Amino acid sequence: MLSLSALKSRMAADAHYKALPGRGILGHDTPPPKSKLPRRRFIMAAILFAALLLSSANNLGAVSRNPSQPQGNTESLKESKGGLSAQLTLAGPACNAFGTDIANLTLEVTYDSDTRLHVNIFDTENSQFTIPPSVVTLSEAPDGVHQNSSDLVFNYDPSPFAFWITRRSEPDAQPLFDTRITSLPATPIPPVIPTDNSTTLDSFPLVFEDQYLQLTSALPLSANVYGLGEVVASSGFRRDVGTDGGVGTIQTMWARDIADPIDQNIYGSHPVYMEHRFNGNTNKSQTHGVFLFSAAGSDTLLFTPSSSNVSLIEYRMVGGTLDFYFFSGPSPQRVIEQYGELVGLPTWQPAFGFGFHLCRWGYSNISETKEQVTKMREANIPLEVMWNDIDLYHAVRDFTTDPVSFPIQDVKAFIDELHENHQHYIPIVDAAVAKQINATDIYDPYTRGVELDMFIKNPDGSEYVGQVWPGYTVFPDWFSENAQTYWTEALTNWSRSGVNFSGIWLDMNEVSSFCEGSCGTGADLSNTAVPFLLPGAPGNAVTDYPEGYNATISGPSGNLTVNGTSTFGAGSAAKLLSKRGLGAGDQSDVQINSPPYAIHNGFGDLSVHAVATNATHADGAVELDVHNLWGLMEEKATHQALLQIQPKKRPFLISRSTFASSGKWTGHWLGDNFSKWQYMYFNIQGVLQFQLFQIPFVGADTCGFNDNTDEELCNRWMQLSAFMPFYRNHNVRGAISQEPYRWDSVANASRTAINVRYSLLPYWYSLFANSSMFGTPPVRALFYEFPDEPELFAVDRQYLIGRDILVTPVLTPNVSTVDGIFPGRGSVAWRDWYTHDVVNATSGGNTTLSAPLGHINVHVRDGSAILLHAAPAYTVAETRDGPFSLLVSLGPDGTAFGSAYLDDGETLPPTPNKTLTFNVAKGRLHITSLGTFDIGQKLESLTVLGAEKPQVVHVQGQSLQGWSYVAAQQKLLLDNVGLDLNGAVTVTWE
């Protein structure tokens, strides 16, 4: 056991905290590994701490001494800035359950600010791997004294040591985080998930070993927990804690190249969650957040044992330290902002990124790629960015173009033409670099990497050789001092050759390898075949009919209807969605290849379909410790390279694997999803997850990537994605084509939805400016804005864009209506975007809305003022050059408010900008303007909803004759007003 050196400390002076304003292979699923943890080892691994003495003025909790537990002696006393610290030493025999017990630990507790508390338990010798600041730079704690002003309070029991976090404002409420044995259910507990013996709970010790760490906290029964990803969760955005018919959750943090399995680990690792608590006595809610700053492979368990009066969260890690940050909120938005303040705020997005993007794996040559651009324009469906997948490459090698199918002179001419038409081009960059086959094989990206000594190695110092698309490959080592030089050179040379890209798409960066171990060492390097058949290749044709289609009944056409009858589910009932140490590779005392505790990696062994865990990096770190960081480090290097290629322009990146702070460098797409209705629904929870993770620019492959889509699904999905941040249609090689012009109904639905999207671009742009400045999430779950309405806590079939736009998509086939809840319980008027009618909504329950094919329901919240583009055009640039309009939806008291951020849409801030503020009250609109950016476009029209019919309208003090009024919607319309938004504007009606 461990004894804890006592420390009496005061908080050092810190400045007052200021609140911020407001593709991969189709793998086969494998069953989860069984735990290697015998029951007795849970008991043996218990760690006991001796007394922690604090100033009684801190009121951090009473000291309770248990004479049956041995006590340790105080060995050192020291003060720490902003909190307390103490030394822990092993006071009893080591247990070594899954590794070696750490004999000496340090506890540091720091009140970073009034809203953030840092609790760090780490090995005193610093031999355990921790994330270097060069990889993730966390914000420093603001100066100031926060001990007595923080709403978060650190409490403890001395022996056995346990801690819990409470709110100063609610000291008697259930703690936010509570590791005390007395707060946890009695043990032993049989498997909470009956099919998984690792969920047997014999005790709840704090364990700190070199290859296994464990910590458990009590949660409120049926806690509302969100986050802990990346995952496609069957339970939805709210995680399954094992109540209300659920079985619980095992969230594994191990980046994995796999086509979007349900309830398993996938591409990214984000060990942060938000918990939302509702007090039934006060009918009020509060939200807090918990972040474990660790890259270790791990399981995070959420479950509720039978008959337990609490739910649980348990961390099980195969390395690292217990480094926790707690955020007090108290609102969902504030928690997300506070997390962003710590890990870094999202990168600024260029305006073109909000346009419609088109791609597929299977555009086999430049002519086919160009054809899509032509056909999209012929169909008058706006296309902003054209992409190419790995078809672009010569021999599937990074930074190349195929000399036959994609001649570089033709690629250059194509991209130049796109740019002339205000359009853009983005190519793919895969994570692995092809290994040169022989001395006559000229491939500069490999030879230059060897020259700079910047590829990952085997433990013996030889080159680690895996296998990906081009055959045998090597992998950039981002810990190498030459990594940035190499990566910038490679991207610069590619761009200068004629691939003048506007952004980069990073794929396969978990990092993925198709074989196990350094399989290319000593192999026949001329064998460039991958060990499986590609989709669409002979023997692996994508021939399945779309979901729900029965060819026996409906014939082989695959059409939406046959003789006027819907083909989805014909002959059967349609399917419904369910509700629901710095370790070194040559260390003999560390089990690098097979950690003793088997986390629930979907592939089983951690080295399957990935760079092996004993692969070694330039600083001595092994892949076991840094695996989850590879994608993040590639994103950072790519972002910085693009800044060198196009100085002062905002880099545009989309990446698959992500980690905490990735949003500073990149956006994200939700991976290799499926052309199924269920996955369109999963689209929403995925976007909501990544708002919490501070990677707000996110979206799914519209119409689905894997399998064959159909007309109805693609129709609905093109509409849904028009109201998501990242809007791209992308599908797999060999599947049917799904560009939106392929079906008339999809083309019509797309034109309509994109028209609305482009109208809303000033609103989207302003939301993302707030995200980059303050961490405010652009896309929000309904309860973020209405936190005291429990009926909203699990809603993830609808969502809000900002605070003012409610989206209610159709997510099932064969329907012409959709049910949706309208937040506010009758206190908020929601107006239809298209008709401006007020919805006659059921208070606190679902309302059925008309939703014929081609229509997506969008509603505007009262009290809002939204700046719009009045004339949506074919491209974002052309749209931005056109006039503005303003939509005002008055609240019941006749007021409304809104703001808009404007700049040139491409320059990296700081750059000239202007913020417009719209205030409406008592029949008067006042627009204020702040900033130096010159707005060349005029405000041409104004629509006010909810207004009484006026007798007279004045604009800038002058009577206006050209106005109209529609009584049915209480709608006041002003056209052709031509107002300059660079100065103050006043409009009155009375």
- Chain centroid to CA 194: 31
8 Å CB contact between 885 and 941: yes
List the strands of the sheet with 433-434, edge to edge.
Answer: 433-434, 471-474, 466-468
Query: Annotated catalytic residue: which of 230, 672, 707, 796?
Result: 672
Residue 946 is given by DSSP the state S
* Residue 507 annotated as catalytic: yes
Provide the pairing of β-strand 953-955 with 958-959.
antiparallel
Query: Annotated catalytic residue: which of 507, 701, 707, 712?
Result: 507
Q: From residue 795, give the alpha-carbon distance in Å to each of 224, 289, 469, 800.
A: 12, 20, 40, 11
Q: From residue 794, give the alpha-carbon distance in Å to each of 444, 580, 635.
A: 52, 10, 33
Neighbours of 524 (CB within 10 A): 10
Number of H helices, E strands in the chain: 15, 49
The answer to whether the Cα torsion of 112, 118, 119, 125 is positive or negative is negative
**Buried/exposed 356-393: b ≥16 CB within 10 Å, e otherwise:** bbbbbbbbebbeebbebbeebeebebbbbbbbbbbbbb
Which residue in 730, 671, 723, 668 sits closest to 693, CA to CA?
Answer: 668
Residue 533 is given by DSSP the state P
Residue partners of 960: CB distance under 8 A and separation at least 6: 953, 954, 974, 977
- Chain centroid to CA 721: 16
DSSP, collapsed to helix, strand or coil, labels residue 283 as: coil
Query: Annotated catalytic residue: which of 123, 210, 299, 510?
Result: 510
Instruction: Indicate the residue type of 344.
Output: G
* Residue 510 annotated as catalytic: yes
| Location of structure tokens 């309070």 | 153
Residue 80 is given by DSSP the state B
**Buried/exposed 614-648: b ≥16 CB within 10 Å, e otherwise:** bbbbbebbbbbbbbbbbbbbbbbbbbebbeebbee
Distance, CA of 543 to CA of 559 (rounded, Å): 15
Provide the pairing of β-strand 727-729 with 356-358.
parallel
744-759 vs 711-721: helix crossing angle, rounded to 10: 10
The pair of structure tokens assigned to 115 is 């809203």
Distance, CA of 78 to CA of 85 (rounded, Å): 7
* Residue 948 annotated as catalytic: no
Catalytic positions, please? 507, 510, 672
